[in-house]
Amino acid sequence: MVNLRERITKNGIKSMETSELVAVILGNGTKGKNVIEIADKIVSESYNLNLNMEQLLSYKGIGTAQACKILAAFELGQRKLEADSLLNQVADLSSLSKHLIKKIGNSPQEKLVAVYLDNGYHVIAEKIIFIGTTDAATVHPRDILREALYISATQVVIAHNHPSGRLYPSENDKNFSLRLLKCCQLMGINLIDHLIVTKNAYSSLKTEKII
């Protein structure tokens, strides 16, 4: 553990492997198994570190206190990602897609995000409009346009994730996009695109000529 802390101090936190970060959180191992071995097992057996209390407690040497620390660290990291924004930056489709993949691509729930821009493509606001179930989100165009009108945005990009990993839009996705497009046109707001993101990729309804 001392060596891990020394490495963080000397080389920075980004130099650490994922299992080493988990080991730092755990602090100590058990009789017959060091903390790195326990951390390696947790990371290798989990899917994108999607773990709950019950799963963590099933590992020998992990008690409630340690499990709570791990879950708190994971949640803090997720909230940090969600808080990150491109505010005041000039955004193009490439930078937006990379940002949104990091922001919601790994979420186990479907989330819809709206990124609001001015005429110069500067990001003036970014908001999670809706959080749905594991495979569905229900939102109305007014929920997106209300914010656009409030902050005087002239353009908007929306994105939502598919926890299933499927990139192709569903019929609901297509129908909602067309409804939103009509509403945006009525309000004089440019709907730049509707992106579907997964943990490492995205698709564009504009590119697919759906909108």
Domains of the chain: 2-82 (no CATH), 85-204 (3.40.140.10)
Confidence at residue 32, expressed as pLDDT on a 0 to 100 scale: 66
pTM reported for the whole predicted model: 0.67
C-alpha–C-alpha distance, residues 169 and 70, integer Å: 34
C-alpha–C-alpha distance, residues 188 and 154, integer Å: 7
Confidence at residue 191, expressed as pLDDT on a 0 to 100 scale: 97
Confidence at residue 134, expressed as pLDDT on a 0 to 100 scale: 45
H or E segment to which residue 131 belongs:
strand 123-131
Tell me if 131 sits within 8 A of 78, measured CB to CB.
no
Q: What are the φ/ψ torsions at residue 77 (nearest 5 degrees)?
A: -65, -40
Confidence at residue 40, expressed as pLDDT on a 0 to 100 scale: 87
Tell me if 103 sits within 8 A of 114, measured CB to CB.
no
DSSP H stretches of helix in the chain: 2-11, 18-26, 35-45, 53-57, 64-83, 93-104, 141-150, 171-187
C-alpha–C-alpha distance, residues 112 and 158, integer Å: 7
Confidence at residue 87, expressed as pLDDT on a 0 to 100 scale: 79
Confidence at residue 155, expressed as pLDDT on a 0 to 100 scale: 97
pLDDT in tens, 52-89: 898 888 888 788 988 898 888 888 877 776 667 787 88
Q: In what order do the strands lie in the sheet containing 123-131? A: 123-131, 111-117, 155-161, 190-197, 202-204
User: Which ranges of the chain have pLDDT less than 50?
Assistant: 134-136
Confidence at residue 100, expressed as pLDDT on a 0 to 100 scale: 93
